[in-house]
Amino acid sequence: MAQHHKITLDADLPIYFCDPASPWQRGSNENTNGLLRQYFPKGSDLSAHGPEDLEHVAHLLNSRPRATLHWKTPAEVMRELILTT
């Protein structure tokens, strides 16, 4: 996010950062980290995984219903957002 000022100006999109050492401000991020740990335990060497492995995990996570999305999958919500704009 070194270029966050440029993104903010170019896209007219405000970018917010959480305070350091405040995981409660990053609920979705912390939840996603936990989900990723099911596939890549902490300390894993991610360079051992090829693009196909990472794509597979991304597909699994994006196809997983979430309570915060009223039990829709992230892929479903993204598709709905794209179709309504």
User: Which residue type is seen at 61?
Assistant: L
Opening angle at CA 67, ends 61 and 71, nearest 5: 75
Other Cβ atoms within 10 Å of 68 Cβ, number: 11
Q: What is the pLDDT of residues 1-35, one digit of tens each?
A: 688 888 889 888 888 888 888 888 888 888 888 99
Contact 68, 28 (CB under 8 A): yes
Q: Full-prediction pTM beyond 0.75?
A: no
